[in-house]
């Protein structure tokens, strides 16, 4: 089955918002085994929308609309499609009752146009909107399927995942759905990982292997069409085994989670605490860690010692270590080690992680942009220090440095977990 996604909204054409709906719908349709051949964006204009329907019908079996179901005069997706199909619009009574109830319960006067949100195209199926007022529509006409979804993502997504997917499945019948698994890697760049897997990526068509990079991490999506989840799992497991042979030490999860979530889980599992001391990363390590819900059980806190004075005041690092002739300086392996050790001691945590380096835009202490030292101090163990030579802009260097430190911490925790299990 070939599909086209048609997003309706002038705000998209003006570049006021980005079309994240198209991405979401493409992913969901792929999961249902539907191939998306085109995505189209058209403004709130009846004539051009009609044109887009006409073109879409000629090249796809399923047209998925998003947007233009609201109450205003600009919202004309239902009107235009009904007119194009020579069908009428009818009232979906449960939706109308819901709209009237909402307004009366809030004591707000309902303007007439709000009733438009309860309209559906004759012969279609209503798609329930659990988070808003505009009812969706599923419709089969002259061999083409039409699905009408709202534009706001908070209404569109639940409708697509709920009533929309159910309706589509009922129309698709025998098509095999696409199953996929996300593999997450750390401590390795996208191009290096791709080079290790090149023969697999190029030589294999089922399951397919698609690498992509986002937010300082590298992911691989392994996808296959199968008649059941069990069959898909078997096929995907085989491919994952081949990937593990080539890059297993960097694979930290088989689901789409950032590495800080895995780190928090390993800390939780072993009842241990973490503290951080950051210089060049400016709080990003703390920010990523504390963005994990419930991380306050494992992360006690940290310092952002941006200046040498702060490194001295908060971490008691001697000024002779940081400044003056022959001093190692703030950007050095020994300062990284001291920062990690001191923050661990002050906070009485089990682990202290530090980062110090040059995020740019210009060099510092005569050291080049992209040079970053990080250290992991562990209670009762020798401190390990690592250096990175990163490229990219300021934000990218900070993010990659923090992800590299998280990866090392994860390696340490996992190795200890493995030993604990073996004991």
Binding to a second copy by residue 40, rule CB under 8 A? yes
Binding string, residues 136-175; x marks residues near a second copy by CB under 8 A? ----------------------------------------
Q: Minimum CB separation from a second copy for residue 359, in Å?
A: 8
Of residues 335 through 374, those in contact with a second copy by CB under 8 A are 346-348, 360-361
- The dihedrals phi and psi of 374, each to the nearest 5 degrees, come to -135, 155
Q: Minimum CB separation from a second copy for residue 214, in Å?
A: 8
Q: Minimum CB separation from a second copy for residue 227, in Å?
A: 21
Binding to a second copy by residue 387, rule CB under 8 A? no
Binding to a second copy by residue 206, rule CB under 8 A? no
Nearest to 203 by CA among 233, 234, 232, 246: 246
Binding to a second copy by residue 30, rule CB under 8 A? yes
Of residues 42 through 71, those in contact with a second copy by CB under 8 A are 42-43, 48, 51-52, 55, 59
With beta carbons less than 8 A apart as the criterion, state whether 144 and 57 touch.
yes
Binding to a second copy by residue 285, rule CB under 8 A? yes
Size of the site for a second copy (CB under 8 A): 73
Question: Which residue number, 51 or 412, has a Cβ lying nearer to a second copy?
Answer: 51
Q: Minimum CB separation from a second copy for residue 415, in Å?
A: 26
Q: Minimum CB separation from a second copy for residue 94, in Å?
A: 25
Among 1, 33, 37, 354, binds a second copy (CB under 8 A): 37
DSSP letter for each residue of 350-381: SEEEEEEE--SSS-BTTBPTTEEEEEEEETTS
- Give the separation between CA 211 and CA 301, rounded to whole angstroms: 34
DSSP letter for each residue of 111-129: PGGGGGGGEEETTPEEE--
Q: What is the DSSP-derived secondary structure letter of residue 176?
A: P
With beta carbons less than 8 A apart as the criterion, state whether 74 and 44 touch.
yes
Task: State CA 178 to chain mean position distance.
Answer: 19
Q: What is the DSSP-derived secondary structure letter of residue 143?
A: T
Binding to a second copy by residue 108, rule CB under 8 A? no
The C-alpha R_g of the chain, in whole angstroms, comes to 28
With beta carbons less than 8 A apart as the criterion, state whether 329 and 322 touch.
yes
Of residues 301 through 320, those in contact with a second copy by CB under 8 A are 301-307, 309-310, 313-314
Question: Which residue number, 78 or 344, has a Cβ lying nearer to a second copy?
Answer: 344
- Give the separation between CA 17 and CA 67, rounded to whole angstroms: 13
């Amino acid at each position: 089955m070939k599909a086209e996604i048609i997003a309706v909204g002038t705000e998209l054409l003006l570049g006021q918002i980005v079309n994240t709906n198209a991405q979401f719908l493409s992913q969901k349709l792929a999961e249902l085994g539907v191939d998306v051949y085109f995505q189209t964006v058209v403004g709130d204009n009846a004539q051009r929308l009609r044109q887009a329907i006409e073109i879409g019908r000629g090249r796809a079996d399923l047209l998925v609309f998003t947007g233009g179901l609201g109450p205003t005069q600009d919202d004309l997706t239902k009107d235009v499609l009904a007119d194009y199909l020579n069908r009428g619009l009818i009232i979906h009574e449960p939706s109308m009752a819901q709209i009237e109830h909402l307004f009366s319960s809030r004591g707000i006067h309902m303007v007439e146009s709000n009733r438009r949100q309860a309209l559906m195209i004759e012969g279609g199926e209503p798609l329930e909107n659990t988070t808003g007022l505009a009812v969706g529509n599923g419709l089969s006409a002259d061999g083409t399927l039409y699905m009408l979804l709202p534009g706001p993502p908070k209404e569109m997504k639940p409708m697509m995942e709920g009533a929309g997917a159910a309706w589509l499945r009922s129309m698709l019948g025998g098509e095999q759905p696409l199953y996929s698994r996300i593999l997450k890697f750390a401590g390795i760049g996208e191009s290096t990982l791709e080079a290790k897997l090149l023969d697999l990526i190029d030589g294999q068509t089922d399951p397919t292997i698609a690498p992509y990079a986002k937010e300082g991490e590298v992911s691989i999506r392994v996808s296959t069409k199968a008649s059941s989840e069990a069959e898909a799992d078997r096929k995907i497991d085989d491919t994952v085994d081949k990937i593990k042979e080539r890059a297993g030490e960097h694979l930290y999860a088989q689901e789409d989670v950032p590495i800080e979530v895995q780190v928090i889980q390993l800390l939780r599992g072993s009842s241990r605490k973490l503290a951080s001391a950051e210089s060049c990363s400016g709080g990003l390590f703390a920010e990523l860690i504390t963005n994990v819900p419930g991380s306050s059980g494992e992360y006690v806190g940290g310092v952002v010692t941006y200046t040498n004075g702060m490194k001295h005041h908060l971490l008691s690092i001697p000024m002779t270590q940081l400044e003056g002739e022959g001093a190692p300086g703030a950007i050095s392996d020994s300062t990284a080690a001291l920062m990690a050790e001191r923050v661990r001691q002050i906070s009485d945590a089990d682990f202290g992680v530090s980062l110090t380096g040059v995020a740019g835009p210009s060099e510092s202490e005569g050291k080049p942009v992209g040079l970053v030292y990080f250290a992991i101090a562990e209670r009762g163990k020798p401190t390990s220090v690592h250096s990175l030579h990163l490229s990219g802009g300021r934000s990218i260097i900070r993010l990659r440095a923090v992800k590299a430190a998280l990866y090392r911490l994860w390696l340490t925790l996992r190795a200890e977990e493995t030993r604990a299990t073996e004991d």
